[in-house]
């Protein structure tokens, strides 16, 4: 009993896959604890679908091994693996009604008629669509189809459920609603979900753990907070969440801090971390999140208005009002735009486009790679 | 002022566009059929004296050789349809789902090539191969497998084979187009949810392809039951194909009234078979033939 708790639902070790000269997946390893929501986040074409198809058994890896509930599945054909998949376009069977769609898998594994009936109605109950059993697929809304596709897999009680960008085809509003719903469904079924997406907000909102993938490799695996606040690579810093990015040359390096002379005409100081190997004279990139930038209306005296360390002067180009998440776009002296979060109160002393401002941030809040 | 004019112009354009089509339907299909039907109700009681009645149809029903021929034509055509489906489905599946993008086009073209040659030439091709002094017989003799020439023409198997060969294309084309429209995800979902190859074929691929299958079967059955050249040339005089009877009535016996009645019997018969097929497969004409 004790051991079954520690065995992960899905573990991949060093799996790779090549298509001709394209290295679609490059020695990826990970380990997913039971009952968690795991996301794989990466830009288009980075190999997410390929990775998932290998787990489902539709492609075989060139190297490495895949373990489900502790045992290798490489020799097991797709229809015998207890991994179910929600496809990008859902792939509900249009010639069957909802009931038959859900019953299909149960019929394949030879359940009895009464058993099937009971299970189908149970799962429809759980996804809160008890009355759609006799509908045809084309009579369902986008969100309902989504839930049926999940129910069709969950009724088989899989060890792992794979979801390949299932929200991709939905409109924005429904996507927002489905994000929360998916998370709730995962909680309810208490099954491991592996969710693929290129949308970082989906991954951050829903997941217990996120793996950031780029060009076939996993850049970093961690909790959403961890990835957001402590990215381990420039790619993760740039891809997860919004960031302002500057690049330049390292001009000073101490044991605690690293200072970069940015091309934009100011110096940026960050606390040194293990990730930054750059020495003096090396090229480096600095990332600062919009919410870490303080915006102050500037002293109008032009002689005082110069860039200093971690401080930039500029003019407000435009305000992006979005309630509590409002932003300003500030144009610096070289004409580049910088994003920063501000609070707009609606009163007279709110900043306005054209105002001179000073942007600053703490060294601890900027990241250097 | 200008809107009604524009509308009239559009209507005129529409009428002009449809005119050839309407004329084609009217002149080549509707009018001849009405004429034929009227003709089929006439009977000669004395030279140049005609009466109207169903005697031509009654004649048909009373003569077993006629309706036996019709039934035989029907059964053989059903067999041809079935064989064409059996051969056409894997070919269509390969073209639509397994072949790569570039091979797909080439294979499809390859399937269409026989259509560029006339029916007659194709039938003669078979004759060249299969007759007593033909290619196959001589080759077998030369290689010493047989010592007397064999005649492979003029039997039912040859007729069926020839018919399948001529019609199988019309099975492949609608099947390829329906299978092409099937998302590969659907097949993978079939496996992913636990189905084996047979289940996926039976529960997913075939039901999905049903409109194409039925469309192909209707076209193939109609073509086969209505074909004339292939049964005559490959089956010889005693192939007993129903179109042969019709030809006989019109040309040899010069009995147009009876020939017209036979034509209508064939039309009615094939329509009933198609209707039964649609009923049994749960499809409608609009969901199958009209779709592909
Ligand atoms: N069957 C295949 N044959 C050849 N190359 C392939 C094949 N499948 C995928 N690739 C290549 O492998 C790489 C990864 O593809 P994959 O479909 O896994 O990307 P993805 O991360 O799912 O992208 P997206 O977010 O756009 O779906 C791509 O460069 C793609 O061109
Ligand atoms: Mg993909």
Statement to judge: residues A71 and A125 lie in one domain: yes
Q: Is residue A2 part of a domain?
A: no
Same domain, A29 and A175: yes
Q: What would the pLDDT profile of B164-197 be if each residue is shown by its tens digit?
A: 999 999 999 999 999 999 999 999 999 999 999 9
Could you give the 3-state DSSP secondary structure of residue B154?
A: coil
pLDDT at B214 (0 to 100): 92
Containing A312, the helix (H) or strand (E) segment is strand A311-320
Give chain A's domain count: 2
**Domain ranges in chain B?**
1-40, 57-291
**Predicted confidence (pLDDT) at residue A4 exceeds the cutoff of 80:** no
| More confident position, A303 or A267 | A267
Q: How far is A25 from chain B (nearest CA, A)?
A: 21
Summarised one tens digit per residue, pLDDT across range A136-155 is 999 999 889 988 999 999 99
In angstroms, the CA B152 to CA A113 distance is 53
Tell me what pLDDT residue A267 has.
74
Indicate the burial class of A294 (C-beta count within 10 angstroms; 0-12, 13-18, 19 or more). middle
What confidence tens digit (pLDDT) does each residue in A260-282 have?
Answer: 887 766 777 777 665 566 677 78
Residue A187 lies in a domain: yes
Whole-angstrom Cα distance, residue B211 to residue B206?
9
Chain A residue with the nearest C-alpha to that of B211: A95
**What is the rounded distance in angstroms from the CA atom of residue B70 to the CA atom of residue B76?**
10
| B202 close contact with A: CB closer than 8 A | no
Does the beta carbon of A96 lie under 8 angstroms from any beta carbon of chain B? yes
pLDDT number for residue A2? 40
Please check whether residues A117 and A231 belong to one and the same domain: yes
Residue of A nearest to B197 (CA): A79
pLDDT of residue B290: 65
The finding on whether A53 has its CB within 6 A of some atom of ligand 1 is no
pLDDT band per the 50, 70, 90 thresholds, residue B4: low
Q: Chain A contacts of B208, Cβ < 8 Å?
A: 93-95
Helix axes B206-225, B64-93, angle to 10 degrees: 140
Residue contact B189–A105, C-beta within 8 A: no
Q: Does residue A9 carry a pLDDT above 80?
A: yes
- Across the interface, whether the CB atoms of B192 and A85 are under 8 A apart is answered yes
Rg over alpha carbons for chain B, rounded to the nearest Å, is 24
CA B200 to chain centre: 29
What are the pLDDT digits (tens) for A55-111? 999 999 999 999 999 889 999 999 999 999 999 888 999 999 999 999 999 999 899
Tell me, what's the pLDDT at A302? 53
Residue B291: per-residue pLDDT: 60
* Residue A306, pLDDT above cutoff 80: no
What average pLDDT does the structure give for chain A? 86
End-to-end, the C-alpha distance of chain B in Å comes to 42
What is the C-alpha separation between A298 and A307, in angstroms, rounded?
A: 12
pLDDT band at A47 (very low <50, low <70, confident <90, very high): very high
8 Å CB contact between A61 and A28:
no
Does A250 lie in the same domain as A232?
no
The minimum CA-CA distance between A60 and chain B, rounded to whole Å, is 14
A257 lies in the same domain as A360? yes
Judge whether residue A256 has pLDDT over 80.
Answer: no
Confidence (pTM): 0.81
**What pLDDT is attached to residue A3?**
44
Q: Which residue has the higher pLDDT, B2 or A332?
A: A332
- Domain with residue A97: its CATH number is 3.40.50.300
- B residues 160..189 contacting A (CB < 8 A): 183, 185-186, 188-189
- The pLDDT value recorded for residue A264 is 65
pLDDT digits (tens, 9 = 90+) for A100-135: 999 999 999 899 999 999 999 999 998 888 899 999
Are the Cβ atoms of A78 and B191 closer than 8 angstroms? yes
H helix or E strand, kind and range, residue A10: strand A10-19
Indicate if A91 and A192 belong to the same structural domain. Answer: yes
DSSP 3-state of B81: helix
Class of domain B57-291: mainly alpha
What 3-state DSSP class applies to A218?
strand
Range of the domain at A249: 242-368
Q: What is the ipTM, given to two decimal places? A: 0.82
Q: Mutation test of the interface with chain A: which of B181, B183, B194, choosing the one with the most A Cβ atoms within 10 A?
A: B194
The token pair that represents B270 in the structure block? 């094939």
Domain final position from A236, A264, A283: A236
Find out whether the beta carbon of A49 lies less than 6 Å from any atom of ligand 1: yes
Residue-wise pLDDT for B151-162, tens only, equals 888 888 999 999
pLDDT (tens digit, 9 = 90+) per residue, B260-271? 999 999 999 999
Instruction: Please report whether residue A360 resides in a domain.
Output: yes
Among the atoms of ligand 1, which is closest to the Cα of residue A198?
A: 25
Q: Could you report the per-residue pLDDT of B108-167, keeping only the tens digit for each? A: 888 888 888 888 898 889 999 988 888 888 898 888 888 888 888 888 899 999 999 999
Distance to chain B for A106, nearest Cα, Å: 8
- Chosen domain end from A208, A236, A264: A236
**Looking at ligand 1, which residue's alpha carbon is closest to its atom 22?**
A49
The candidate with the shortest Cα–Cα distance to B166, out of B219, B212, B204, is B219
Out of A236, A255, A274, pick the residue that ends a domain.
A236
Based on the number of CB atoms within 10 Å of its own CB, is B163 exposed (0-12), middle (13-18) or buried (19 or more)? buried
Domain match, A271 and A330 both: yes
Give residue B75's pLDDT.
94
Judged by CB atoms closer than 8 Å, whether chains meet at B193 and A152 is answered as yes
pLDDT one-digit tens code per residue, B22-61: 888 888 888 988 998 888 888 877 777 788 888 888 888 8
Q: Is A211 in the pocket of ligand 1 (CB under 6 A)?
A: no
Write the DSSP symbol of residue A87: B
CATH code assigned at A352: 2.40.50.140
Across B257-280, b (16+ Cβ under 10 Å) vs e yields: bbbbbbbbbbbebbeebbeebbee
The encoded tokens of residue A121 equal 């109605």
Residue A186: pLDDT above 80?
yes
Mean pLDDT of A177-195: 89
- Of A85, A88, A108, Cβ closest to residue B199: A108
């Amino acid at each position: 009993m004790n051991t079954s708790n520690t065995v992960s639902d899905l573990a991949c070790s060093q799996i790779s896959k090549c298509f001709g000269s394209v290295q679609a997946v490059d020695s990826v390893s990970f380990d997913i604890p039971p009952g968690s929501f795991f996301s794989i986040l990466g830009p288009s074409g980075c190999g997410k679908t390929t990775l998932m198809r290998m787990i489902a058994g539709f492609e075989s890896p060139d190297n490495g091994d895949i373990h489900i509930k502790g045992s290798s599945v490489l020799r097991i054909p797709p229809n015998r693996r207890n991994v179910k998949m929600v496809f990008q376009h859902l792939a509900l069977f249009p010639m069957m009604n909802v009931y038959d769609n859900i019953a299909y898998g149960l019929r394949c594994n030879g359940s009895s008629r009464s058993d099937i009936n009971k299970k189908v109605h149970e799962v429809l109950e759980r996804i809160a669509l008890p009355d759609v059993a006799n509908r045809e697929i084309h009579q369902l809304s986008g969100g309902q189809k989504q839930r049926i596709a999940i129910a069709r897999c969950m009724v088989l009680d899989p060890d792992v459920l794979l979801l390949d960008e299932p929200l991709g085809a939905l409109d924005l509003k429904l996507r927002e609603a489905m994000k929360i719903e998916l998370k709730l469904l995962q909680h309810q079924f208490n099954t491991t979900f592996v969710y693929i997406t290129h949308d970082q907000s989906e991954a951050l909102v829903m997941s217990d753990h996120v793996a950031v993938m780029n060009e076939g490799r996993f850049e970093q695996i961690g909790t959403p907070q961890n990835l957001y606040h402590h990215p381990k690579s420039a790619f993760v810093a740039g891809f997860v969440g919004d960031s302002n990015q500057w690049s330049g040359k390292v001009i000073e390096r101490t044991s605690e801090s690293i200072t970069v002379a940015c091309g934009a005409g100011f110096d940026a100081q960050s606390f040194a971390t293990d990730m930054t190997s750059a020495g003096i004279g090396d090229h480096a990139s600095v990332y600062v999140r919009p919410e870490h930038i303080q915006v102050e209306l500037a002293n109008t005296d032009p002689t005082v208005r110069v860039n200093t360390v971690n401080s930039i002067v500029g003019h407000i180009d435009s305000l992006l009002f979005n309630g509590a998440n409002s932003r300003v776009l500030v144009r610096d002296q070289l004409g580049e735009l910088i994003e920063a979060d501000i609070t707009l109160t609606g009163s007279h002393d709110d900043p306005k486009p054209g105002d001179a401002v000073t942007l600053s941030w703490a060294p601890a809040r900027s990241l250097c790679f | 002022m200008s809107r009604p004019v524009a509308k009239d112009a559009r209507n005129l354009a529409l009428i002009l566009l449809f005119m050839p089509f309407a004329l084609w339907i009217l002149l080549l299909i509707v009018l001849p059929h009405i004429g034929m039907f009227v003709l089929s109700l006439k009977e000669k009681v004395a030279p140049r004296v005609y009466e109207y009645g169903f005697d031509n149809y009654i004649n048909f029903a009373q003569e077993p050789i006629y309706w036996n021929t019709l039934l035989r034509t029907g059964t053989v055509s059903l067999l041809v349809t079935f064989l064409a489906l059996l051969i056409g489905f894997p070919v269509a599946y390969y073209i639509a789902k397994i072949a790569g993008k570039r091979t797909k086009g080439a294979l499809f073209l390859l399937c269409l090539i026989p259509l560029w040659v006339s029916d007659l030439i194709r039938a003669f091709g078979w004759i060249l191969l299969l007759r007593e002094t033909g290619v196959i017989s001589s080759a077998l003799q030369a290689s010493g497998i047989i010592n007397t020439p064999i005649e492979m023409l003029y039997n039912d198997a040859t007729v069926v084979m020839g018919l399948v060969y001529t019609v199988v294309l019309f099975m492949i084309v609608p099947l390829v187009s329906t299978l092409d429209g099937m998302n590969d995800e659907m097949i993978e979902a079939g496996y992913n949810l636990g189905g084996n190859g047979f289940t996926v074929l039976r529960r997913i691929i075939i039901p999905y392809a049903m409109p194409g299958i039925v469309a192909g079967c209707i076209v193939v059955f109609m073509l086969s039951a209505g074909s004339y050249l292939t049964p005559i040339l490959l089956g010889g005089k005693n192939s007993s194909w129903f179109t042969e009877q019709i030809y006989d009535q019109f040309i040899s016996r010069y009995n147009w009234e009876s020939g017209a009645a036979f034509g209508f019997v064939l039309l009615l018969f094939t329509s009933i078979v198609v209707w039964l097929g649609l009923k049994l497969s749960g499809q409608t004409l609009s969901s199958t033939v009209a779709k592909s």
